[in-house]
Structure 1
Amino acid sequence: MNGSPEPVERKVQLTGGSTYTISLPKEWATTNDVETGTPLVLYPSEERLVALKRSARNSDNWIAIDVRDVDPEALKKTLETAYVTGYDEITLESPTGLTAEQRRAARSAVNGLVGVEIQDVTEDSLLVHSLLDGTEVSLRQTVVQMQLTALSMHEDAIRAILENDDELARRVIDQDDDVDRLFALVSRQFHRGLAEFREIAQLDVDRPTAFAYYRMARQLERVADHAEKTATVATRQHEAPPERFHEELLTLGERARGVLRAALEAGLDDGSVSDLQTVFVDRDSVVADVRALDRSLYDEDVPEPQLLASVLDSIERIAEYGANVAETGLQSALGSANE
């Protein structure tokens, strides 16, 4: 309701022996555009009951963006941001006409997003339309999909380095776009849920849980970035690292991914406080061993030590991202402990 921000307290009354009713003060109702016949939708939300006026949300969920003289790369970023913000229809328009470069940038952006298409193109405008149905989007399942992809990417990236496999490395690099696409979807649905209670109800989660999923997805997007960075090392190195480092790199990579995996499992499945606390201990152990190996690179005659140092930095970062996820889960666990 958009009128008075002041709440009104009313008692539920029994009418006719079978119906509960709530009366509203006329002045308050008029201020909030509620009148006889106004349909209200009631949403149960834990200990609250949220009343919303029924409305066609999509009727005003559009935006027109003037992109005259806008650089194609800036246009692409603007379109991606409008998608994440939650608009169902995004019109790019230019009184002087869209350039071929701008059109290509718009198509590139749309190809990198889930559930949207270019619906109409004219000389001076381009309409992007959403096909997404909020009831068919699962934030939890999207996070799980991101987890499987990002962790697999990092495992393959380290293998590409040790086997000096340029082709495998390039496949990992290409997968980063898949994770970016999923993160944009999670961001979009989360932002829509912040702006409109109906959206969060469709997602079948409460807002704190949606926020936790968003934070998990953010960490996984960063893991994928580091997997891409690690795979890039495989394309730059002249030969595989000395064999004496292979086992340690494999083990450290697996341990870092294990930290993240344990944090995600606890966060997604309501793990105990002790499970989450263990993640921090394991993170510290991984970080200490990574830094010890990093120091040894410069104590020994290792070819291209800066490349291996970059790989170790990414392993450490992934363990840190696991701790970030555990912190989110710990906040939820401690918050629910007093309920």
Structure 2
Amino acid sequence: MEIRKVQITGGSSYIVSLPKEWIKSSKIAKNDPVGLIVQQDGTLLVTPKIDVEAVQREKTFQVNATTDQIFILRCLISAYIAGYTVITLTAQGRLPPKIRMRVRDFTQMAIGQEVVEETETSIRIKDLLNPSEMPFQNTIRRMAVLARGMHQDSVEALKSGNTALAEDVIARDNDVDRLQWLIARQANLVLNDANLSRRMNVSPQMALTYFLIARIIERIGDHGTRIARSSIGLTMTDQKCDIITMIDDASTTASSIFDRAIESLFSQDIKTANATIQHVEDLEEQARAINTHALDYDAATATALVSISDSIRRIGEYSGDICESIINHLIHEETPIH
């Protein structure tokens, strides 16, 4: 760290000199304007980027006929989440058809990614989404609606034996994943671009909180999918009515905990978040009762029922994790407790 003294000029203006090396590397000339951004911790950010354009970052991948398709798909997703605005795939010869297929899969999975240029030897993918047009709150709300619906519909599929509904729940998991990737990308963009953080009115700390909560909601969606998978092929009879009622009751408890967690997130209510965590113990007791009752059935049925019970319990516990993240954030923000 360089230490420089603040000086007074003209009797009322405070000035501090800027490092010559930084001036040269930033290509700043005499009379060029620079931006000054006051950070939440009181530090002052000096930036030569004073326009509202997002930071442009490019990533290039070299591929060939032996490139692992799953690996390159993971690389594309990682580059997307990392915040690269342009991704290029190039080959010395013709791009393998299977690589082109993975690119199509990627652009269908990732929000805002489109192929803008394609030749025999390269494909150029560009991000067409303006980050400030997709507020974190809207994406989190959409994720919460999807995850809650998946949980409720998976239990309904179990109760009614509706295989088509269970398969629809499984298909919806991709939608939750896409939104979680978007949140991760937005968080990285905010962390790397102070101007974007200011325009979106989201602090880096809040962006990280949204990222953590999005990860948790994505896992809740996974457990909705797990319930749906377990319900397929599980035949419900009159003898199983008691345990299905127990599962339905536990599911209602888990949904209530999740709803309260999301409510405390958007209301920034630390007391509601804390009170919600207390209800997780009630759900754990319900899950234990289901597991004990499941032992009365054959091994295959008992295994499926215990898996469903475990997923419902995990949905409640993950909802408690959301509340803990909210409390951590609000304490960091020094929110007053009444």
Asked if Structure 1 and Structure 2 have the same fold, meaning a TM-score greater than 0.5 normalized by the shorter chain, the answer is yes
Once the two structures are superposed, residues 202-226 of structure 1 have per-residue CA deviations (whole angstroms, 9 ceiling, x without a partner) of 3211111111111111011111111
Answer with 134-143 or 232-241: which moved more: 232-241
Separation in structure 2 between the aligned mates of residue 201 and residue 249 of structure 1, nearest angstrom: 46
- How many corresponding residue pairs? 331
Residue 305 of structure 1 and its aligned partner are, at CA, apart by 1.1
Answer with 133-142 or 256-265: which moved more: 256-265
SS of the aligned residue for 1:212 comes to: helix
Unaligned runs of 5+ in 1: none
Q: 1:239 to 1:247 in 2, by over 3 A?
A: closer
Separation in structure 1 between the aligned mates of residue 225 and residue 34 of structure 2, nearest angstrom: 49
Please say if 1:39 is aligned against 2:33: yes
Q: What do you get for the CA RMSD once the two structures are aligned?
A: 2.5
Q: Percent identity?
A: 22
Residue 73 of structure 1 and its aligned partner are, at CA, apart by 1.6
Residue 45 of structure 1 and its aligned partner are, at CA, apart by 3.2
Counterpart for residue 250 of structure 2: 252
Counterpart for residue 134 of structure 2: 137
Counterpart for residue 271 of structure 1: 269
Separation in structure 1 between the aligned mates of residue 314 and residue 283 of structure 2, nearest angstrom: 10
Separation in structure 2 between the aligned mates of residue 11 and residue 144 of structure 1, nearest angstrom: 49
Counterparts of residues 140-159 of structure 1 (less than 5 Å): 140-159=137-156
Counterpart for residue 121 of structure 2: 124
Residue 298 of structure 1 and its aligned partner are, at CA, apart by 0.6
Counterpart for residue 50 of structure 1: 45
Residue 11 of structure 1 and its aligned partner are, at CA, apart by 5.6
Correspondence for 2:159 among 149, 157, 162: 162
Separation in structure 1 between the aligned mates of residue 314 and residue 129 of structure 2, nearest angstrom: 33
Counterpart for residue 61 of structure 1: 57
Unaligned runs of 5+ in 2: none
Please say if 1:10 is aligned against 2:10: no
Counterpart for residue 15 of structure 2: 22
Counterparts of residues 84-123 of structure 1 (less than 5 Å): 84-123=81-120
Q: Is the 8 A contact 1:39 1:54 kept in 2?
A: no
Please say if 1:195 is aligned against 2:188: no
Counterpart for residue 210 of structure 2: 213
Counterpart for residue 242 of structure 1: 240
SS of the aligned residue for 2:279 comes to: helix
Q: Is the 8 A contact 2:246 2:286 kept in 1?
A: no
Please say if 1:229 is aligned against 2:222: no
The amino acid of 1:78's aligned partner reads: C
Q: Is the 8 A contact 2:56 2:84 kept in 1?
A: no
